[in-house]
């Protein structure tokens, strides 16, 4: 009988101990919530959903993630809203300047080159769905090539053999994870050659494109400064080819110079001159039908070259 009563007493004591522990645990839980708030609930992502990671360097994003970021920037509608989205992914710094980070693209033949962000919400999409979120450009020229096979700028960028090759044969050499995310955009160019007014500026749809004079320099007054008021209307033709990308504005590039050396680019590790898509437009010098503008190997933004002379090719594209 004593043994039974002892076991009963032990069981009662254990019940009391466990009850006290339960009460203590509850009291601690209440105290923790009061001091720290409700614990964070971590939601699992939907299976198969592409997750854009926490902000990191441009090189660390996949092209799928870059396309997702670009779509988010585009959906913000431009201006400060789009720039805020870009800043969240460290594509814009605290001062509002574009990142200088680069990303490498490798072709099937082993050739590789770097691209850099030059604009946000800058280029109008072909499909009418607003602007593309991001525009990239080669950091240096991966190759040299002539604008045309014949010594003429008639037909401008639209009719050039370089444009046909870039958007045809060369485009097919890009890795699929890049090419499948490139968005065709609308580009304005003097597609006649010799020019007398802005009616020669027409639209092309491009996946890969060269930049125009004003897209790099902003508005220029080259003809006014060199030839006087009589020829200043030709500056209007050139300036109708778009607006300056932010990267060049950030670097202080104008039609008069390149104070930071941003336009000095290389091909095969040697400084080279490189092509604009803008035809030279001064008809009375005998050059208006046979030249395109180029950036000099020194980085000076204003010179011209024969269409059959190979130049550095720094193409751009949008995602």
pLDDT in tens, 146-162: 999 999 999 999 999 99
Residue 29: pLDDT band with limits 50, 70, 90 = very low
Q: What is the mean pLDDT of residues 48-52?
A: 52
Instruction: Give bridge partners of residue 125 from the DSSP assignment.
Output: 185
- Return the pLDDT at 5: 47
Query: pLDDT for 306-317, tens place per residue?
Result: 999 999 999 999
- Return the pLDDT at 40: 47
Residue 1: pLDDT band with limits 50, 70, 90 = very low
- Return the pLDDT at 23: 42
Question: Vertex 247, ends 161 and 253: CA angle to 5°?
Answer: 85
Mean pLDDT over the full length of the chain? 87
Token pair, residue 188, equals 């304005």
Report helix, strand or coil for 108.
coil
- Return the pLDDT at 265: 98
Query: pLDDT for 81-90, tens place per residue?
Result: 999 999 999 9
- Return the pLDDT at 319: 98
The Cα 20–Cα 211 span in angstroms is 77
The Cα 63–Cα 199 span in angstroms is 38
Query: pLDDT for 265-279, tens place per residue?
Result: 999 999 999 999 999
Comparison of pLDDT for 34 and 187, the residue scoring more: 187
- Return the pLDDT at 53: 54
The Cα 125–Cα 208 span in angstroms is 13
In this predicted structure, the answer to whether residue 296 has a pLDDT above a threshold of 80 is: yes
In this predicted structure, the answer to whether residue 235 has a pLDDT above a threshold of 50 is: yes
Residue 266, φ and ψ in degrees, nearest 5: -120, 160
Instruction: Give bridge partners of residue 316 from the DSSP assignment.
Output: 137, 209
The Cα 145–Cα 140 span in angstroms is 14
In this predicted structure, the answer to whether residue 34 has a pLDDT above a threshold of 60 is: no
- Return the pLDDT at 88: 95
Query: pLDDT for 82-141, tens place per residue?
Result: 999 999 999 999 999 999 999 999 998 889 999 999 999 999 999 999 999 999 999 999
Query: pLDDT for 165-212, tens place per residue?
Result: 999 999 999 999 999 999 999 999 999 988 888 999 999 999 999 999
- Return the pLDDT at 258: 97
- Return the pLDDT at 283: 56
70, 72, 78, 79 alpha-carbon torsion, rounded to 10°? -100
pTM listed for this prediction? 0.82
Residue 67, φ and ψ in degrees, nearest 5: -65, -35
């Amino acid at each position: 009988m004593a043994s039974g009563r002892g076991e009963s007493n032990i069981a009662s004591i254990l019940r009391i101990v466990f009850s006290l522990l339960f009460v203590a645990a509850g009291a601690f839980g209440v105290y923790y919530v009061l001091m720290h708030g409700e614990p964070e609930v971590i939601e699992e992502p939907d299976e198969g959903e592409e997750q854009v990671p926490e902000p990191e360097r441009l090189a660390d994003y996949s092209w799928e993630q870059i396309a997702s970021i670009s779509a988010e920037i585009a959906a913000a509608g431009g201006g400060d809203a789009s720039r805020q989205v870009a800043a969240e992914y460290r594509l814009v710094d605290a001062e509002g300047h574009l990142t200088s980070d680069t990303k490498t693209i490798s072709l099937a033949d082993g050739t590789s080159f770097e691209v850099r962000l030059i604009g946000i919400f800058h280029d109008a999409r072909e499909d009418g769905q607003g602007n593309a979120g991001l525009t990239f450009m080669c950091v240096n020229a991966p190759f040299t090539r002539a604008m045309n096979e014949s010594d003429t700028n008639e037909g401008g960028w639209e009719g050039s053999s370089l444009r046909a090759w870039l958007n045809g044969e060369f485009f097919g050499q890009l890795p699929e994870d890049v090419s499948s995310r490139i968005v065709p955009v609308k580009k304005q160019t003097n597609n006649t050659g010799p020019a007398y007014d802005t009616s020669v500026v027409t639209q092309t749809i491009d996946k890969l494109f060269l930049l125009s004079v004003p897209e790099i320099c902003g508005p220029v007054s080259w003809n006014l400064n060199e030839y006087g008021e009589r020829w200043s209307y030709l500056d209007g033709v050139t300036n109708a080819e778009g607006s300056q990308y932010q990267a060049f504005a950030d670097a202080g590039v104008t039609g008069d110079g390149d104070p930071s050396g941003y336009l000095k680019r290389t091909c095969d590790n040697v400084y080279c001159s490189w092509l604009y898509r803008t035809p030279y437009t001064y008809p009375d010098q005998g050059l208006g039908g046979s030249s395109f503008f180029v950036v000099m190997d020194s980085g000076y933004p204003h010179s011209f070259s024969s269409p059959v002379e190979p130049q550095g090719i720094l193409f751009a594209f949008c995602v």
